[in-house]
Structure 1
């Protein structure tokens, strides 16, 4: 499946994978508002076996089919063993 990856210009390390090139308009209004302006950074052919840096391709494909988008948030910070949780 062809997909289009956009980064949020408001939220660091936050990306939206879209099924359609103009799919940003179909995002839920609250999500669009939270992300702010988006900038397309990548267009790719996504397959179940494709390796992605921070997401599982199968989960991304399922979200694209079901919702038309996949939201990739920044990874959670790692706590040192002596940090209180």
Structure 2
């Protein structure tokens, strides 16, 4: 299975995987508006990979088959202050 991966010009670090290059027919219109004009990043042979950097490859395959697309959003930002407080055992209680 080869899919096309596009990045968003409006949403940093957001990627849209579709079954075929330039085929956005199954992607909902509101999502396309939010995503903006897609910019092709690569054609990706999923069957030759065991994993992806930030997405579960099996989930990507299932969503491509069922929905025709997979949207990869960036991970939420880490609050370093909160992480440090947890590390040192700080609590307001």
Structure 1 length-normalised TM: 0.87
Higher-Rg member (1/2): 2
Cα pair 1:20 1:68 within 8 Å, conserved? no
Query: For structure 2, which runs of at least 5 residues remain unmatched after alignment?
Result: 87-93
Q: CA RMSD in A?
A: 1.7
Any gaps of 5 or more consecutive residues in structure 1? none
Any residues of structure 2 matched to 1:42-53 within 5 Å, and which?
42-47=42-47, 49-53=49-53
TM-score, normalising length: structure 2: 0.81
More strand per residue: 1 or 2?
1
SS state at 1:24 partner: coil
1:55 aligns with 2:55: yes
Question: What is the DSSP-based 3-state SS (H/G/I as helix, E as strand, rest coil) of the residue aligned with 2:47?
Answer: coil
Number of equivalenced pairs: 83
Greater helix percent: which structure? 2
Q: Give the superposition deviation at 1:48.
A: 8.0
